[in-house]
Amino acid sequence: MPRRVCTFAVAHTDLSGQPFNNAGRTLRVLAPNNLGGCGLYVKFSNYYSARPVWVGNATVALADPLGNLLPGTLRPLTVHGDSSFALVPRRDVYSDRVDLAVKPGQTIAVSLYYPLPDRVVSGNFVSIFATRSVKGDWCAEPELPKARILSSLSRTVLPWDITSATTTLSEILVEQPTEAAAPCVVAAFGDSIMQQGAWLTPFTQRLYKAYPGRVSVCNLGIGGNRLLHGAPAATKGMYGHAGVERFRYDLLPVEGLTHAILALGTNDIGLPGKDGAPEGELITLMDYQAALEPMVDTLRRRGVKVFAGLLLPREINHIYTEQREGLRLAINHWLAGCGLFDAVLDLGAPIAAPDGPGMKKEYALPDGLHPNKLGGQKIAQGIDLGLFAPGGDRS
């Protein structure tokens, strides 16, 4: 039997309270791929919706760097033989097998047309990988007429258009012959600092260049996500369930998982007191330890290498006080010295301000919490790629 390996994944959250709307439009997800295989499967999720979602048409193809479909690669994407299908509430659905060979370095384009006027509400709201069309079904068109609407959040917190959610698509799986060496599958589990891709995207590019065909990276970040508490009521679920809960269905089921980067905690410290999160939800070091240790143990027992991502430095303000900065330092000190992890990634060291809390200004977005693209590149350059080498090879 051939094996299926995850080459691309995003974590879903509840978008019902947000203005993102793909009704009547085609969404095209452009997934970077570093694996070779003889076929594909696509996993859809309607986990956060209480009603069915109708996909009016779906295709998969290979695309050029600009997102245009390559001639001769377009295939219908079907569920039970039909490229028009419903996704039932609170469920995951796998497509039928797609007979499409892929090679490392080729971009996989999944196009989904949502014909109904109802908004799709289960998805991933930072569209690093997605473009949204103007109205209509453009699934079979080589070039997608784009509709970009930049929000104020895009301009201040996230350097990409966030209005076109990567709705319903959650994973792309590559089918490989079992006699071929199994690749490494790296899942990055975190919050908006992960999800925005500022450091994870250039790190992934470095990794793919170093190990073509031998490793894939999945970005399972959710903006606002916390390790111990779910989304405050004021955010209407957008920040996702607590990491200790979504760990079971976002991280553990990733097919072929070999490495996990755990980088949650910034919002456990900084969120209480804002966005409707009560002050009483501010964690302690003991809370953090008690939540993270069982997750690490579960992964290690499955043979997964587990890496800790130290919490990034951030700007002091009326919510994020000196006391909370002390808690961040205490958590990082514990992560670095507890011995639970196969490795510890000091993500903040390359961008930290030398004379006080926070990042160097040239590496930070205006909110003082997220690295900008330059800061993300600096972080990515500081990570030892040998830690993720297939077969332990540190070439």
Tell me the per-residue pLDDT of 282-310, one tens digit each, with 9 for 90 and over.
999 999 999 999 999 999 999 999 999 99
41-45, 128-132, 351-355: least confident range: 128-132
User: Counting runs of H as helices and runs of E as strands, what totals does the chain give?
Assistant: 8, 18
User: What pTM was estimated for this model as a whole?
Assistant: 0.94
Long-range pairs for 135-139 at CB < 8 Å and ≥24 separation? 135/24, 135/25, 136/24, 136/25, 136/26, 137/26, 137/56, 137/57, 137/113, 138/26, 138/28, 138/111, 138/113, 139/26, 139/57, 139/58, 139/59, 139/111, 139/112, 139/113
**Over the stretch 172-225, which tens digit does the pLDDT of each residue have?**
999 999 998 999 999 999 999 999 899 999 999 999 999 999 999 999 999 999
pLDDT at 49 over 90: no
354: its two tokens: 């030398």
Most confident by average pLDDT, 40-49, 123-132, 202-211, 351-360:
202-211
Q: Is the pLDDT score of 395 beyond 50?
A: no
Instruction: Supply the pLDDT for residue 50.
Output: 87
| Bigger pLDDT: 49 vs 3 | 3
For residue 339, the SS3 value is coil
Q: What is the mean pLDDT of residues 214-240?
A: 94
| Residue-level pLDDT at 165 | 67
* E strands in the chain: 3-9, 13-14, 25-31, 39-45, 53-55, 57-63, 75-76, 85-87, 92-94, 107-113, 122-123, 130-135, 169-176, 184-190, 215-219, 259-263, 305-309, 343-345
pLDDT of residue 107: 96
Cβ atoms within 10 Å, residue 312: 26
Question: What is the per-residue pLDDT across 345-372, written as a single tens digit (0 to 9) for each?
Answer: 999 999 999 987 899 999 999 899 999 9
Average pLDDT of span 379-393: 89
Return the structure tokens found at 46.
Answer: 């309607």
**pLDDT greater than 70 at residue 157:** no
Q: pLDDT tens-digit profile of 308-349?
A: 999 999 999 999 999 999 999 999 999 999 999 999 999 999
Query: What average pLDDT score do residues 111-133 get?
Result: 80
Mean pLDDT of 106-118: 92
Share of the chain above pLDDT 70, in %: 92
More reliable by pLDDT, 98 or 65: 98
The answer to whether residue 161 scores a pLDDT higher than 80 is no
b/e burial code for range 10-30 (CB count within 10 A of at least 16 → b)? bbbbbbeebebbbebbbbbbb
Position 250 pLDDT exceeds 50: yes
Can you give the pLDDT at residue 392? 53
What integer pLDDT is reported at residue 84 of this predicted model?
96
Is the pLDDT score of 265 beyond 60?
yes
pLDDT band (50, 70, 90) for residue 167: confident
Q: Which residues pair with 109 in a beta bridge?
A: 30, 61
Q: Can you tell me the distance from the alpha carbon of 247 to that of 216, in angstroms, rounded to the nearest whole number?
A: 19
